[in-house]
Amino acid sequence: MVSTHTLRAEWLGNVRGDLLSGLVVALALIPEAIAFSIIAGVDPKVGLYASFSIACLTAIFGGRPGMISAATAATAVLMVTLVADHGLQYLFAATVLAGLLQLVAGFLKLGDAMRFVSRSVMTGFVNALAILIFMAQIPELVGVPSLTYVMVALGLAIIYLLPRLTTAIPSPLVAILVVTALAVFFEFDLRTVGDMGALPDSLPIFLLPDVPPTLETLQIILPYSLGIAVVGLLESLMTAQVVDDLTDTGSDKNRECLGQGIANTVTGFFGGMAGCAMIGQSVINVKSGGRTRLSCFFAGVALLFLIVVLGDLVAIIPMAALVAIMIMVSIGTFSWDSIANLKTHPRRSSTVMLVTVVTVVWTHNLAIGVVAGVLLSGIFFAAKVAQLFAVDSDLSEDRRHRTYRIQGQLFFASTGDFAKAFDFREDVDKVTIDVSRSHIWDLSGVGALDRAVLKFRREGTEVEIVGLNEASRTLVGRLGVADEPDVLARMQSH
């Protein structure tokens, strides 16, 4: 049962700050939602409806108060080919399915699996995301009237310089107003948001995606849904961590998975595209004083209100203003520290980060990049742990009996060193292998030990293994010691 106290604190703990920050976020969400719709190749209203619906639903059902979720670049880049090849209705169906997959992930408590995503992979993720957002702006900057560049530059100048004068009003909003006013006043011939497709003129309505309910449809949308679900959860959980750190409060990661799932499932039925949490917007929210669920909820409501009321005005905003804002988002999302850190951080961590970035930029799929990063960091970790392995030996007085003492981690990555440590051709009658100070982690380790015993026997040497019980106690898969509370103490006592 959720206590009324928590409920009140999570919604009404900071009303004034949340309403103000919600408004700032809503104003920033509008250009982003339009821009992300354009990335995905759909009408701006698809992204705007999605942002409204996702923001309100994650505010209610999510696990991280104060985090902003809406239509995002990370998920939008995954939809491009689906929309191009099959059309909008398949996108709605894929959005619903992605939501359902996220719900399953939430029920299976896969949020806990985030711990396998290392810091380097996360840094790679945000850097890749920033690069993707920037790359998505390039079509708007190629083959356009040169006036566009002037307008983008003006927009960026306002965004970055105005906060030095005042932090009371959102500078991106001022940038939009100034650029739009100039374009209208001087009748510049610039592409506008209205040229990019339909804007919402009413509240979203419930509709079933118009796709044939066949297995073939499922085959089409499943790969997209899977990618969207994974990327959505990754960015959401990562953003939750960012907000946790900024506000020094905790969040419920599995509830966040469920919240994202509910939001996407419902959003698909209301004509919206899939989304997830947004790092940049969440930072803006915290910076503007937002802390509770109310901020995200109000951002969604304010967004829809503004867009329905001001729809005609939104249509005349030049794309140049939007591009300026998206460049800002891209710059703000990128982890600039990570470039300076390339020099100081361990080379392997930097490699993981760079591989993640390169894979994403290459495939345009954040999920694949993260998988690559996680795999690589796993391999690096295994390689490192494999070094915690040593063998020494001594010969008895009569030179007839050798004792090998194995120390450290015996598993797939260290079996090579293990095998090399023995001199099978030595002229001794008996060999003792003392494994009591080693840990056998997997079947490869067991196999390596078996093979060593066999080889000695073939040479006619008698073999005795000492301490096998203690060593094999660490066979996690079979005995499940990792779940026992005293496992660490016991391992250290070996």
Partner 1 sequence: MVAKILGLIDGSQYTASVLDNIAFAAKRLRAEVELIHAIGRRDIGSAPSDMSGSLDLGEREELLKELAAHDEQHARLARKRGRLVLSDAAAKLAADGVETVSHDLVLGDLLEEIERRETGCDLVVLGKRGDAANFAKLHLGSNLERVMRRTSVPVLIAARAFRPIERVLVAYDGGPSISKALDWLRVSPLLKGTRIEVAKATGKSSDAELDRVCKTLKAEGFDARAKLLTGDPDDAVVAECEREAIDLVIVGASGHSSLRRFLVGSTTSEIVRACRRPVLLFR
- In the complex, which residues of this chain contact partner 1 (CB under 8 A)? 3, 5, 8-9, 13-14, 16-17, 20-21, 24-25, 27-28, 159-160, 162-163, 166-173, 242, 245-248, 279-280, 283-284, 286-289, 291, 328-329, 331-333, 335-337
Least distance in Å: CB of 22 to partner 1? Answer: 11
Least distance in Å: CB of 257 to partner 1? Answer: 23
Q: How many Cβ atoms are within 10 Å of 166's Cβ, its own excluded?
A: 9
Closest to partner 1 by CB, 277 or 410: 277
Nearest to 368 by CA among 224, 218, 264, 231: 231
Nearest to 410 by CA among 380, 438, 378: 438
DSSP at 345: S
406 contacts: CB under 8 Å, gap ≥ 6: 389, 390, 391, 418, 421, 433, 434, 435, 437, 438, 471
Least distance in Å: CB of 23 to partner 1? Answer: 9
Least distance in Å: CB of 5 to partner 1? Answer: 5
Least distance in Å: CB of 137 to partner 1? Answer: 15
- Tokens 């719900």 locate to 103
Least distance in Å: CB of 386 to partner 1? Answer: 34
The length of the chain is 494
Closest to partner 1 by CB, 96 or 321: 321
Closest to partner 1 by CB, 171 or 260: 171
Contact yes or no for 63/51 (Cβ under 8 A): no
Nearest to 70 by CA among 57, 60, 56, 55: 55
Closest to partner 1 by CB, 118 or 285: 285
111 contacts: CB under 8 Å, gap ≥ 6: 105, 233, 237, 253, 254, 256, 257
Burial of 402 (0-12, 13-18, 19+ CB in 10 A): buried
Closest to partner 1 by CB, 333 or 474: 333
Nearest to 102 by CA among 63, 76, 132: 63
Least distance in Å: CB of 245 to partner 1? Answer: 6
Least distance in Å: CB of 187 to partner 1? Answer: 29
- The two tokens of residue 269 are 């039925």
Closest to partner 1 by CB, 6 or 469: 6
Closest to partner 1 by CB, 129 or 376: 129
Closest to partner 1 by CB, 169 or 479: 169
Contact yes or no for 322/35 (Cβ under 8 A): yes
Q: How many Cβ atoms are within 10 Å of 467's Cβ, its own excluded?
A: 17
- The two tokens of residue 457 are 């026997």
Contact yes or no for 72/36 (Cβ under 8 A): yes
